[in-house]
Structure 1
Amino acid sequence: MIEYFQSNMWQLWLLVCLLCLILELTSGDFFIMCFSLGALAALVATPFTGFVGQLVVWMLGTVLCLLFVRPVMLKYFHKKDSDRPSNADALMGRTGTVSQTIVAGDHGRVKIDGDDWKAVSAATTDIPVGAKVKVVGRDSIILTVTPVNQ
Structure 2
Amino acid sequence: MGDTAGVRQLRIVVEADDYDAALAFYRDVLGLDEQESYSGEGGARVAILDAGRATLEIANSAQKAMIDEVEVGRPVAPHIRLAFEVGDGRTVTARLVEAGAELIAPPTVTPWNSLNARLAGPADLQLTVFQELGNAGDASAG
Higher relative contact order (CA 8 A, sep 6+): 2
TM-score with structure 1 setting the length: 0.21
Rg comparison, structure with higher value? 1
TM-score normalized with structure 2 length? 0.21
Q: Which has the higher strand share?
A: 2
Structure with greater helix percent: 1
